[in-house]
Structure 1
Amino acid sequence: MLRLSYDDVKAAAERIDGVTRPVPVIAVEPGSVASAEVYLALDFMQHSGSFKDRGAANFAAGHLADGAMPAAGVVIASGGNAGLACAWAAARHGVPATVFVPRTAPAVKVARLRQWGAEVRQVGTEYAQAQEAARLFSAETGALASHAYDDPYVVAGAGTLLPEIRAAVPGLDTVILAVGGGGLFAGTAIAAESHGLRVVAVEPERCRALNAAIEAGEVVDVEVDSVAADSLGARRASPTALYWARRADTVSVLVSEEQILLARRQLWDQRRLVVEHAAATALAALTSGAYRPTPGERIAVVLCGANTDPATLG
């Protein structure tokens, strides 16, 4: 388990200030979701199309400042978004990047990885297989291994999102976000605990690594079979995510494939926002009733990524 505190999040915010984009936050019309006051945090508007820029920027800046960046550059395994962010951050600093992705990774993400200058290697059909290939590559070449969600720089970087949302939404009570391996969740939970906020962790029913870990009391392997698996397809949550799920005020909920698809479609029909299924997973907690807010509760829903093919909205 990673030993992190809110001080790490604040240090990350200083490192990435002026590098990542401040999150735009928009209000949802009153009455749209029960009697709650709901906001959408559009962190998919980062340079690489997802919140992952925060962790990648912190990772690169931290290792460069420490003189710990090897000539072989960085290597990462990713369902797509962490790799994109890593490639973006590496390109910004003139550092080589090698990204291992499953063969099932969306073509739009693979194409963008190559646009950022990364060497892309497609291995296996699940994140875990790409991760093992990346580990071997790091051992053979000396490339600095970055983890998609279980790295102190990555988690602390992800945690910088919540202070920005709080600044935009005074009196915020709750933040709702989708969970894969748990990097965004852990970083957010660290910040949330410092400010007395609730975190609603949303996962697909067939892709529920954190929910299963909470239920079992330990990290366990789960089935990965969801329309959102390209972003949320970790077979197991990180021990850090489980620790913060127990420590912070956390509500874990599950949503169905149909509810994810409907929420994604509604974002397009009602707001002309094209997001990944993972981003829609967070909103589906509200639109499906999986999470029922109290009257007047101020809620921010994190729309975490938009590296997707608009043609799949049909």
Structure 2
Amino acid sequence: MDQATSSGPAGGAAPITRERIAATERTIRPYIRRTPVLAADGGEFGLAPGPLLFKLELFQHSGSFKARGAFANLLLRDVPAAGVVAASGGNHGAAVALAAHRLGVPATIFLPSITSPAKADRIREYGATLVVGGERYADALAASEAHVARTGAAPVHAFDQPETLLGQGTLARELEADAPDIDTLLVAVGGGGLIGGVAAWYAGAVRVVAVEPEGAPTLHAALAAGRPVDAPAGGLAADSLAPRRIGALAFPLARAHVAPEVVLVSDDDILRAQAALWSVLRVVAEPGGAAAFAALLSGRYRPAPGERVAVLVCGGNTTAVRFGQQP
């Protein structure tokens, strides 16, 4: 496999740059979807009338943006015969399982018990070995690290691996081409792989606003402390937006290129955003996928008059809508 950007987690990694993101995009393009940008009017949601764009990354392979980083890892790094291992709240595990299946690589995925059944089912469908244990992502990560030590498998970190950020950054490259005139992009934050890659691509050219659940304020806590620190890891979106702390790779990118005021949203805000996306757009977003829109719908983020806003709907692995139960 191509080893052009091989490097280890966090320490000593080469910078995450536009040039490297563009090169990564060329490598992973045969394996990922170019997801659509949907135009709507704020008035449809009871917001101020005006154009509003949605980047629908929930239509990506495996149901979330995570497929970008997963394919980047498997295509840009050496993969041993023992295969790959990942710890995940669900979406990253599904993406790694899919990439491993497509590329003929063994994969073992560790999940915490809070993972939604929809995400666990996807991992099983892709043929990976699934191990469920512990209550939170940190527990799954510890178990995955022990597995790496035993087997020599290559760890694919959900957010603190250079190739992960490079892959996620390709989303912003795609959005820039399809919607070059936006002023602001709202992005949900968990461990920071997505917002780190997005921030590296835009590098201040677009206002990138971080949105986090009140129960998992990882970037908010890190910015207040001046460094990554442990934060609470709970709430409705805990299976996708609740690691123990922001990634070491993402933090300096966020501090340099993300708006300094992180928007915190409640579980009720997220539920209302999920319902509105379904009611108006017929888009089924998981809680983490709806979090960015929750900032706008709740009024916790208020655009200036004429501000051109885009919202990233980053995942749709949920059983919130169960087809077949009623006509």
CA distance in 2, matches of 1:36, 1:254: 24
Tell me which residue corresponds to 1:309.
319
CA distance in 1, matches of 2:102, 2:27: 14
Shift of 1:36: 4.8
Q: Which one of 197, 201, 220 corresponds to residue 206 of structure 2?
A: 197
| Aligned: 1:62 with 2:76 | yes
| Aligned: 1:46 with 2:70 | no
SS at match of 1:223: coil
Q: Give TM-score, length-normalised by structure 1.
A: 0.95
Q: Which one of 142, 153, 157 corresponds to residue 143 of structure 1?
A: 153
SS at match of 1:310: coil
Structure 1 residues not aligned, in runs of 5+: none
SS at match of 2:148: helix
5 Å-filtered alignment, 1:56-135, equals: 56-63=70-77, 68-135=78-145
5 Å-filtered alignment, 1:178-189, equals: 178-189=188-199
**Segment drifting more, 291-300 vs 82-91:** 291-300
Quote the RMSD (CA, aligned, Å).
1.7
Tell me which residue corresponds to 1:175.
185
Shift of 1:8: 1.7
5 Å-filtered alignment, 1:246-265, equals: 246-250=255-259, 251-265=261-275
Count of residues in Structure 1 that have an aligned counterpart in Structure 2? 309
Q: Give TM-score, length-normalised by structure 2.
A: 0.91
| Aligned: 1:241 with 2:263 | no
| Aligned: 1:287 with 2:302 | no
CA distance in 2, matches of 1:307, 1:200: 23
Tell me which residue corresponds to 1:271.
281
| Aligned: 1:25 with 2:37 | yes
SS at match of 1:160: helix
Tell me if the contact between 2:189 and 2:212 (Cα under 8 Å) persists in the aligned partners.
yes
Residue-by-residue CA offset, 1:260-290 (whole Å, 9 max, x unaligned):
1111111111121111000111101100111
Q: What amino acid does structure 2 have at the position aligned with 1:262?
A: R
CA distance in 2, matches of 1:174, 1:121: 39
After TM superposition, the runs of 4+ consecutive aligned structure 1 residues lying more than 3 A away are: 30-33
CA distance in 1, matches of 2:42, 2:113: 43
CA distance in 2, matches of 1:17, 1:245: 26
Residue-by-residue CA offset, 1:80-134 (whole Å, 9 max, x unaligned):
0000000000001100000000012111211110110000001100000100100
Shift of 1:227: 0.4
Structure 2 residues not aligned, in runs of 5+: 1-9
CA distance in 2, matches of 1:255, 1:312: 26
Shift of 1:301: 0.6
Shift of 1:30: 5.1
CA distance in 1, matches of 2:173, 2:165: 14
Tell me if the contact between 1:178 and 1:201 (Cα under 8 Å) persists in the aligned partners.
yes
CA distance in 1, matches of 2:87, 2:200: 24
Tell me if the contact between 2:161 and 2:249 (Cα under 8 Å) persists in the aligned partners.
no
Tell me which residue corresponds to 1:220.
229
Tell me if the contact between 1:36 and 1:293 (Cα under 8 Å) persists in the aligned partners.
no
Q: What amino acid does structure 2 have at the position aligned with 1:158?
A: Q
Tell me if the contact between 2:284 and 2:321 (Cα under 8 Å) persists in the aligned partners.
no
| Aligned: 1:37 with 2:51 | yes
Tell me which residue corresponds to 1:231.
240
Q: What amino acid does structure 2 have at the position aligned with 1:232?
A: L
CA distance in 1, matches of 2:230, 2:141: 15
Shift of 1:233: 1.4
Tell me which residue corresponds to 2:28.
16
